[in-house]
Amino acid sequence: MSEILNIINLDKSFGRKKVLENFNMTLQEGKVYGLLGNNGEGKTTLIRMIMGIIPSNKGEIFYKNQKIEFKHSSYKKEVGYIPEESFFYSWMTIKDLLDLNSSFYPKWNSKKAHEFLERFSLNNKVRIRTLSRGMKLKLGLIVALASEPELLILDDPTSGIDVPTRQDFLKGIIRELSEAGTTILFSTHLIHELEKIVDHLGILHSRHLILDEDYQKVKNAAKRVRITFKDSVPENIGIDGVLKVQREGNIADLVIYPWDKSIEKQIEALSPTRWDIEPLTLEEIFISFVSKNEK
């Protein structure tokens, strides 16, 4: 499987504030990459640099092994982009917008655009300024999808929209696209949204990716272990890969990554009265990684 997007040593600062530093990331073709991060961690900045909206201070971005620079634009013909908020020209009608976009993209699919308009119950003649946020998201999606992108970049698009729309968006369209082989970079801070659609997971924290791994591997390798001791929990537990420890009386809740068979022996060596392994949700994995890095 080839790389569709490769980011090497990217730096970005706003004034004295460094947002990204020596940032590296790789997107495999056909995968759904979930980019997690708290608000203000630089997800939007990263995506804007990929889309050539703002320049980086340092580093390189490659699209299909071709270096892309701030001034380049032709790669955008194959990249669909849905920003956090879809800011179109408010005076235009939906038809005007689609018509304008059809001139930008060589693979523009008018049929698909109209199908989606019907699916989302959007009227062609309506002016954009009258649309709700959810409808604008749908319109942004139509614009992105009708351009038949090879890479679709979604920058936290579902925040602030109602649950049914979000569900339709995530479970329906994103899955359809993924199944059709479109590479997707989905950035969000609403972690649970990614759970069922993501192939690869990246966690952006403190200017770097603190996790960049196949989601199934992460899922399998991240475990919560509840250990019950006879007396109190020892000061030094001494188990490899502990991301997070919670003590409550004689019970210790550990999040361990990566899980390994040898860890079982390390637990046994502590002579617990009982220990149990539980799987973790994506949200718990995220929180564990972030909290470990904050320490």
Partner 1 sequence: MFRKLFLKELREKVNILIFFTINLLIFALIYLFYPRAKSELLEYLYLAMILVVFPLTSVLLGSSGFYSEFKDDSWTYLFSRPIKKWKIWLIKYLSQTLIFLSALLILLSTILILPRLKVVIATFNSSSNIPGDSPLFFSCLVLAFILFTISFSISFLYEKQFIIIFVSISITMGLLLVWDRYNAFLGRILYESSGIEFYASIIWLSFILASVITFIRSDFSQIWKKIWKFSKSALLFLALSFFLLGTGTFYLIKASYKYLPYSSDAYHEYKGDLYFETDKGIFRYLPEKDKLEKIIKSKLFLPFNSQDLYSVRGEKIIFLQHIDWEYGNSELWIMNTDGSQKKRLIKSGITEDSPFYNANIYSCILSNDGKEIVFITRVYLSGETYNIIYTLWRINSDGTGLKSKGLRFPGEPYFLRLIAWSESDNSLIFLLSGMIPSKIVKYDLKNEKYKILADSLNRPRELRISPKQNFLAFQYYENNTEEQTLSLLNLQTFEKKEVYKAGSIDGYKWSKNGDNIVFIADKNELYVYDLKQDKIRKVKELTYGRPFRRRLNFDFILNGQKFVVVDVINNEPHIVVISRQFKEEKSIKIPFRTKYGIRYILGINNTVLVENPDKDELWLVNLDTENWQKIYH
Q: Where along the sequence are the contacts to partner 1 (CB under 8 A)?
A: 14-15, 48, 51-55, 70-71, 73-77, 81, 83, 85-92, 96, 99-101, 103-105
Q: Report, in Å, the least distance between residue 156 CB and partner 1.
A: 13
Q: Report, in Å, the least distance between residue 15 CB and partner 1.
A: 8
With both helix axes pointing from N to C terminus, report the angle between 133-146 and 94-102 in degrees, rounded to the nearest 10: 20
Are the C-beta atoms of 96 and 143 separated by less than 8 Å?
Answer: no
- How far, CA to CA in Å, does 26 sit from each of 61, 97, 113? 10, 32, 30
Q: Report, in Å, the least distance between residue 57 CB and partner 1.
A: 9
d(CA 261, CA 241): 12
CB nearer to partner 1: give 76 or 244. Answer: 76
Are the C-beta atoms of 256 and 241 separated by less than 8 Å?
Answer: yes
Q: Report, in Å, the least distance between residue 176 CB and partner 1.
A: 22
Strand partners, 190: none
Are the C-beta atoms of 139 and 80 separated by less than 8 Å?
Answer: no
Q: Report, in Å, the least distance between residue 188 CB and partner 1.
A: 17
CB nearer to partner 1: give 69 or 278. Answer: 69
CB nearer to partner 1: give 86 or 182. Answer: 86
CB nearer to partner 1: give 69 or 276. Answer: 69
- Going by C-alpha positions, the residue among 48, 44, 43, 77 that lies closest to residue 61 is 48
Cis peptide before 258, with omega less than 30 degrees from 0? yes
> Residue 16 carries which side chain, given as an amino acid letter?
R
Are the C-beta atoms of 182 and 152 separated by less than 8 Å?
Answer: yes
Q: Report, in Å, the least distance between residue 281 CB and partner 1.
A: 32
CB nearer to partner 1: give 32 or 50. Answer: 50
Q: Report, in Å, the least distance between residue 150 CB and partner 1.
A: 13
CB nearer to partner 1: give 157 or 272. Answer: 157
CB nearer to partner 1: give 56 or 178. Answer: 56
Q: What are phi and psi of 94, to 5 degrees?
A: -60, -40
Query: Within 13 Å, how many C-alpha atoms sit on residue 68's CB side?
Result: 24
Residue-level length of the chain? 295
Alpha-carbon torsion 155, 159, 162, 164, what sign? positive
- How far, CA to CA in Å, does 108 sit from each of 54, 94, 113, 185, 220? 25, 15, 9, 21, 40
At 56 the three-state DSSP class reads coil
CB nearer to partner 1: give 11 or 99. Answer: 99
Q: Report, in Å, the least distance between residue 53 CB and partner 1.
A: 4
